[in-house]
Amino acid sequence: MLEIRNLHASVDGNPILKGIDLTINRGEIHAIMGPNGSGKSTLAKVLAGHPSYEVTKGQVLYEGKNLLEMAPDERAREGIFMAFQYPIEVPGVSNAQFLRLAYNEKRKHLGEEELDPLEFKDLLKERAKVVEMDASFMTRSVNEGFSGGEKKRNEILQMAVLEPRLAILDETDSGLDIDALRIVAGGVNLLHNSENAVVLVTHYQRLLNYIVPDYVHVLAGGRIAREGGKELALELEEKGYDWITSSVAASGIGASRVT
Amino acid sequence: MSLIVKQEGVYQAAFRLLQQRTAGNNAAWFARLRESAMDRFEQLGFPSIKEEEWKYTNVAPISKVNFEPVVGSDKSEATLTADEVTRLGYVEAQASQLVFRNGVLHSDLGSLTGLPTGVVAIDLAKAIADEKYGELIREHLARSADYNANAFTALNTALSSSGAFVLIPKGISLESPLHFHFISDPVEPSAAAFPRVLIIGEENSRATIIESHASISEATYFTNAVVEIVLKDGARLEHYKIQRESADAFHIATTSADLGSNSRYNATTINFGAQLSRHDIAVKMANEGAECWVDGLYVVGGAQHTDTHSVIDHQQPHCTSHQLYKGILDGKSRAVFNGKIFVRHGAQKTDAMQTNKNLLLSNEARVDTKPQLEILADDVKCAHGAAVGQIGEDELFYLETRGIHHNLAKNLLTYGFAEEVIAKIKVDSIKAQLDEAVLNRINARLEA
């Protein structure tokens, strides 16, 4: 589904990603972990197409197509979704209006008929169950006045409505209390199936107790420093990121981070 | 220079015509008021950008056009139809509207059947001649809007031949909004209209008024409107001013409100139209416990120029004022916001808040914003602020990652910016009109 080859990216001229290779197949759950500044959020944003991040080298193929040539909205309509660490508030536009707009943009793109407000209401009611959100959220402006946990649940609601093929969750667990984490993770698990893939970008192992990854990739200094199965996350939890970064430094990889 | 002399001649000629036509009909005090206002206009002339109050707004284009002042003459072949009036109107006010064609009241085009008994809504000139109201009007007309300080107010005071006098008696509440429906009709080419409105809300009265300015053509014309409002103790008035003149029009307006004890005045001013518009709004809090909200939204593009000057004058203790003005500018448009808040000696426990926020959609648009506070009392709560910004990259990106096209994303965020003002509007059809106007202007659609 997704093939990342030797990906290099910079922001404001500062190189952040320095050669990422990663393959993601449908049905898989990948966790991207790493210390602050390792480039894991940058990777998420580059995949979603953030204009501030410049790809300087390498390529990304999504379903065989050159992802990097596609505008962010095009990527979204092609089935890529990113849940934001800090979702944006959109005053004056209700959650229901917004979701229907996004949903219909995708339908149009796929050559399907748009849903009218009533039809969409039924669909929305169904999908909202995934993140245990009640109807009052639908008439409120997008994320406006939402608590941190509500914003994250709203991200997963958007995912539930848009049914992406590739969902990238950028630090979705940050700032969540245990109840909200359980709801958010439960939603992701419900939405995951053999036809789609999920990428969890996270600093902590905690989320992975709820969403169990098939693969764990640990980033350090803009490269993948270590890869493994879910047990790698547990090992990290125990030994900390220093264990990875020091071994990376010792082997000469990511040396730019060591002065 | 010769042009300006000639132009001032046009207004003087109109003044003489008006004097002849009304000779003997008018109360002597009113004739004197007009004369004195005309003298003042001649002294002042049109303001120049050398004057601080007009620094950013050049009205020379108005003085260069050969406008024809409409001083009560009535052309029978007018094109304005009842359908047009309905189309430009608001459903809530179908049975309570005063329709003005080129500044002149046409009772046959409006309807007042929806007004409660006792409420007076009649032509100002007729009211002045009516012994029931003459003295009351004399007491209030041209008191709140000072023609000595503003040439346009002077010109309106001198040349206004029509308008409305509205009296809401003690304790009366208006169920439906009262609509002052100003429509420009191209039957009089290059018309200069001088509508004048005086509203008196007696003790504990309640009313909502809509003042709208629109056109049935894309002609060049000049509206110079003055609305004076007097609220007695405990009166409440909601005032919506919707300016959507034609793209080539000039719109100069003054709103002036004097607030009684514990009265409340809420003004919302919306500016969409005109090539050049200027609105002076002044609220005088001359009695204890008065409260006002003075909000506004201007949405301009192309080469439009819009200017708002507000003065909130806290003269007495325990008064509250809130002000929120938002602007959306595209193209090479320009906006001016100048907001003065005065807190006079002894106006303790004043609570005054003022915000002006602007969203620039193009790199060529420009805003000059100047919030000013002058505080002479020591126990007050005052805050003001101004901001000018553009749509944030991260906000756009967020919407785009949901599959929403770049332009639509931009439009939604622009709408979201305006919504803070629109959301407070309590008349549904105005709200719907603005929703549509803002979204149409930015070419978006929204349903739920």
Q: Is residue B382 part of a domain?
A: no
Q: Please tell me whether residues B160 and B12 are part of one structural domain.
A: yes
What pLDDT score does B441 carry?
A: 58
What tens digit of pLDDT does each residue of A52-69 get? Answer: 999 999 999 999 999 999
Q: What is the dihedral of CA A95, B386, B265, B124, to 10 degrees?
A: -110
Confidence of residue A104 (pLDDT cuts 50, 70, 90): very high
Q: Which CATH superfamily groups domain A28-50+71-257?
A: P-loop containing nucleotide triphosphate hydrolases (3.40.50.300)
CA of A106 vs chain B CAs: smallest distance (Å): 7
Q: Is residue B350 part of a domain?
A: no
Q: Please tell me whether residues B95 and B228 are part of one structural domain.
A: yes
pTM: 0.86
Q: Please tell me whether residues B190 and B58 are part of one structural domain.
A: yes
**Which among B287, B315, B331 is the end of a domain?**
B287
- The domain spans of chain A are 28-50+71-257
CA of B179 vs chain A CAs: smallest distance (Å): 27
Give the separation between CA B52 and CA B299, rounded to whole angstroms.
Answer: 24
ipTM over 0.90: yes
Q: Is residue B335 part of a domain?
A: no
User: Does the pLDDT at position B3 exceed 70?
Assistant: no
Contact residues, chain A, for B394 at CB < 8 Å: 88
User: Does the pLDDT at position B51 exceed 60?
Assistant: yes
Nearest to B404 among A49, A102, A141 (CB): A102
- Closest of B335, B290, B78 to residue B184, by C-alpha: B78
What tens digit of pLDDT does each residue of B20-44 get? Answer: 888 777 788 999 999 999 999 999 9
Which residues span the domain enclosing B397?
393-448
Give the separation between CA A46 and CA B22, rounded to whole angstroms.
Answer: 76
Give the separation between CA B427 and CA B434, rounded to whole angstroms.
Answer: 11
User: Does the pLDDT at position A211 exceed 70?
Assistant: yes
Q: What is the dihedral of CA B418, B419, B422, B426, to 10 degrees?
A: -170
Q: Is residue B329 part of a domain?
A: no
CA of B439 vs chain A CAs: smallest distance (Å): 11
User: Does the pLDDT at position B6 exceed 70?
Assistant: no
Lowest mean pLDDT among A15-19, B3-7, B55-59, B292-296: B3-7
Q: Is residue B29 part of a domain?
A: yes
Lowest mean pLDDT among B1-5, B273-277, B374-378, B387-391: B1-5
Greater confidence (B334 vs B442) lies with B334
Q: Please tell me whether residues B32 and B159 are part of one structural domain.
A: yes
Query: Which contiguous run of DSSP H or E holds residue B329?
Result: strand B320-329
Kindly determine whether residue B417 and residue A158, on different chains, have CB atoms separated by under 8 Å: no
Give the separation between CA B327 and CA B420, rounded to whole angstroms.
Answer: 11
Kindly determine whether residue B401 and residue A72, on different chains, have CB atoms separated by under 8 Å: yes
Chain centroid to Cα A38, Å, comes to: 16
- Closest of B307, B304, B382, B305 to residue B341, by C-alpha: B382
**Which among B287, B315, B340 is the end of a domain?**
B287
Give the separation between CA B307 and CA B369, rounded to whole angstroms.
Answer: 10
Counted domains in chain B: 2
Sign of the CA dihedral B141, B145, B147, B152? negative
Q: Is residue B196 part of a domain?
A: yes
What tens digit of pLDDT does each residue of A159-196 get? Answer: 999 999 999 999 998 888 898 899 999 999 999 999 99
**Which among B287, B316, B335 is the end of a domain?**
B287
